[in-house]
Amino acid sequence: MIKVGIIGSTGYAGAELVRLIVGHPQAEIVWYGSHSYKGESYADIYQNMFEIVDAKCMGEDMDRLADAVDVIFTATPQGLCSSLVDEDVLNKVKVIDLSADFRIKDVETYEKWYGIEHKSPQFIDEAVYGLCEINREDIKGARLIANPGCYTTCSILSIYPLLKEGLIDPLSIIVDAKSGTSGAGRGSKVANLFCEVNENIKAYGVTTHRHTPEIEEQLSYAAGKSVILNFTPHLVPMQRGILVTAYANLLKEISYKEVKAAYDKYYKNEKFIRVLNEDVNPETRWVEGSNYVDINFKIDERTNRIVMMGALDNLVKGAAGQAVQNMNLVFGLDEDMGLEQVPMFP
């Protein structure tokens, strides 16, 4: 059994890690770290875990933790993981960081968009961007994995094949994204109260959202040239789910079949990526609770653009599920182990 420690186990992403790993046949959680609830019973905070998890929340001492476990998940605010890891920790355990600390290769870009100083830039090069379907082989040997952001995973996977195949103009991309509210975290802010979120939709972080450079960097690798794009997130009155609607100019006249073939080339054998049938649009409800990403596209001959769409569960494939998928890869387990949840509807 892989021994697991979670720093930040009482946030929504951390709690989803708990849900998934509790059902994982080859891993067990031995350390429920929590800054806010140290000393309290985990099941008192998340009553769904009553009679399932019998443990108290512990602190976030990474050195002690590194001796106790095989893998540490950090589901924490930006800057914490990079302030905790060091060579000693990385020699002892694998670290899978769900924050953005090691996602962006250019430290200046990181510091500019996040507005904080990076505390351990020496590990940025080594860190592997944990988008499993794209970087599978690199992940297997990594000590430190930068687990991708929720918006990022959905945006990249929706667009990747078309850039890779050179079918769309890399400077024409617009990503209009919509997210459920669990992505906003469990902090007690007025803006996230039920009465503020419910019966409302709004854009936020317009032109300035932090996932923008992460999407651009990864898509630039795919395109082989610089991608600069618009990314606009919106807050939707629902718990889980991200829907990406992305637009780009087609570089040539192209048929449905040809585009479909491009998607299939990269995703046909990917269990967790489902390219839907023609004219079936992705919807967040069809992936809820699961590690699937549903993807499809529509060519608009009138405007010579293509509309690319993707849907995933932000807490699963957009956070904890992908983190477990990364863990499986790192430890040589079946990639889908503990991730076979069928999407729950309604």
Active-site residue set = 150
For residue 236, the minimal CB distance to a second copy (Å) is 5
**Sites for a second copy among residues 233-272 (CB under 8 A):** 234, 236-241, 243, 245, 247
How far lies 253's CA from each of 160, 168, 276, 301, 335, in Å?
A: 19, 11, 22, 8, 37
Find the part of the chain contacting a second copy (CB under 8 A) among 108-116, 117-125, 250-258, 295-303: 295-303
For residue 92, the minimal CB distance to a second copy (Å) is 29
What string marks each residue from 135 to 154 as x (binds a second copy by CB under 8 A) or -? --------------------
Residue 83 engages a second copy in binding (rule: CB under 8 A): no
Asked if residue 329 lies in contact with residue 136, where contact means CB atoms within 8 angstroms, the answer is yes
**Sites for a second copy among residues 15-44 (CB under 8 A):** 15, 19, 22-23, 44
Residue 1 engages a second copy in binding (rule: CB under 8 A): no
Q: At 289, list the tokens.
A: 């609770």
Among 111, 286, 331, 337, binds a second copy (CB under 8 A): 286
Residue 220 engages a second copy in binding (rule: CB under 8 A): no
* Cβ neighbours of residue 93 closer than 8 Å, sequence gap 6 or more: 5, 65, 66, 69, 70, 71, 72
* Ramachandran area for residue 224 (φ above 0: left; ψ -120 to 50: alpha; else beta): left
Q: Is 207 helix (H, G, I), strand (E, B) or coil?
A: coil
* Cβ neighbours of residue 291 closer than 8 Å, sequence gap 6 or more: 272, 313, 316, 317, 321, 322, 325, 336, 339, 341
Residue 167 engages a second copy in binding (rule: CB under 8 A): no
Residue 206 engages a second copy in binding (rule: CB under 8 A): yes
In angstroms, the CA 308 to CA 278 distance is 12
Residue 226 engages a second copy in binding (rule: CB under 8 A): no
**Sites for a second copy among residues 321-340 (CB under 8 A):** 340
Among 228, 256, 264, 334, binds a second copy (CB under 8 A): 228
> Which is nearest to 146 in space by CA: 99, 86, 216, 201?
99
> Which is nearest to 179 in space by CA: 313, 274, 345?
313
Residue 225 engages a second copy in binding (rule: CB under 8 A): no
Residue 215 engages a second copy in binding (rule: CB under 8 A): no
Per rule CB under 8 A, count of chain residues that contact a second copy: 84
Residue 299 engages a second copy in binding (rule: CB under 8 A): yes
